[in-house]
Chains A and B, each alone.
Chain A
C-alpha cells in the first residue's frame, strides 16, 4: 500500500508510461485520490513533459516545417562543408 508521497512520486514515471503492475497502479491511484499535493505534482510533472515537447522543436505540432524544411543559404552549406573538412584533416 502506497501511504507516503515519497513512494508515490517515485512511481510517477512508470505510472505515466503504463509500466506499473496493475495492483501497484491501483494503489497509486488510491493515494492520488486521497492526496491533493500528489495530484498536483502528477499534473505539473505531466505538463513539464508536454512543455519541453511543445516549446522545443518543430514536431509534432509543427509538422509542416518538417515536410518542407526551409532552404539553407548556399553560403552556409559551403561554410559547413569547409569547416567539417578542416576538422577532418
Chain B
C-alpha cells in the first residue's frame, strides 16, 4: 500500500515507460480493493489501469447503442469522469465491472436521448389503465414478435434503445441495473441508495412503462 504512494508520477509521453509501469501496476490492481483504494486516493496509475482494463469492453457496449465512433468516444469519456467522480459512492455492493457497465449504458443512453432529441415520457401516463370492474381498459395488440426476433433486426434494436432512453432517469437506471446488468434486488437498491422495497416498486413501474412504449412495435407489422 505504501509503495503506491511513493510511485513516481506517470510520464505519459514515454511509451516504454508507460507499458512497463502498466505491467507493474497490473500486479497490485488486479485486487479490486487495492484498485478502489487507489482510485479514491486519486492515484493516476489506478485511473490509467481502470481505463485500460475496462475501456475496450465498455466502448463496445456504448458503440452498440450509439453506432457512431465520435459519440461513443465522448460517452466513454463521460463514463470514466462519472466513475471517478462517484467512486466514493461505490460500496462494493456490485462488482466494479458491473458498476462501470451500468454507468456506461446510462451515459450512452443519455447521449442517444440528446442526439435523437428523444423526449422524456411520464411513467404515470404509461401505466396500465383499469375499468371500475377491475379489468384493463387499455388492452393493446397481441405481441407476435419475440425478443429473439427483435434482437436480430438492427432497426428494431434501435427502437428498443430509444424507448429505454425515453424513460425518466430513475426508471431507466433501475432497468439498467436489474434487467440489463442482472444484479440482485439488494445490490441494485444499494447502488441507487433506496430500500429494496422501493426498488421493486420502481422496477415494476419502469417495466410496465417500457412495455407500453414497445407495444406498437411488437405486433409484427412493419413499423411505420
> What separation, in Å, do the CA atoms of A70 and B36 have in the docked complex?
24
Contact B101 A5 (CB under 8 A): no
| Given A12-B204, A80-B51, A83-B81, also A65-B57 (CB < 8 A) | yes
B interface residues with partner A (beta carbon < 8 Å)? 12, 42, 44, 47-48, 51-52, 55-57, 59-61, 64-65, 73, 76-77, 80-81, 84-85, 101, 105, 128, 130, 133-136, 139, 142-143, 146-148, 150-151, 156-157, 160-161, 164, 175-176, 179-180, 182, 200, 203-204, 207-208, 210-211, 214-215, 218
Tell me whether A24 is interfacial, beta carbon within 8 Å: no
Check if B101 sits within 8 Å of A52, measured CB to CB.
no
Shortest distance between the CB of B196 and any CB in chain A (Å): 11
**Chain A facing B: main interface SS:** helix
Which residues on the B side are within 8 Å of A4 (C-beta)?
130, 133-135
- The reply to whether A70 and B60 contact each other, CB–CB distance below 8 Å, is yes
Of the candidates B55, B57, B151, which one forms a contact with A55 in the assembled complex, judged by CB atoms under 8 Å apart? B151
Bound CA span A83–B79, Å: 11
Chain A residues engaging chain B, CB cutoff 8 angstroms: 3-7, 9, 12-14, 37-38, 40-41, 43-45, 47-58, 61, 65-66, 69-72, 76-81, 83-85, 87-88
Known pairs A69-B60, A80-B77; A52 contacts B134 (CB<8 A): no
- Contact of A6 with B134 in the complex, beta carbons under 8 Å: yes
Is B57 within 8 A of A77, CB to CB? no
- The reply to whether A65 and B60 contact each other, CB–CB distance below 8 Å, is yes
Please measure, in the bound complex, the distance between the C-alpha atom of A44 and the C-alpha atom of B216, giving whole angstroms: 12
Determine which of A3, A40, A51, A78 lies in contact with B160 in the assembled complex, contact meaning CB atoms within 8 Å: A51
Is A58 a contact partner of B64 (Cβ separation < 8 A)? Answer: yes
If A71-B56, A80-B80 touch, whether A52 touches B44 (CB-CB below 8 Å) is: no
Extra contacts, 11 of them, besides A55-B161, A84-B84 (Cβ < 8 A), are A4-B135, A6-B136, A13-B203, A47-B143, A56-B105, A56-B160, A56-B180, A58-B64, A77-B51, A83-B77, A88-B84
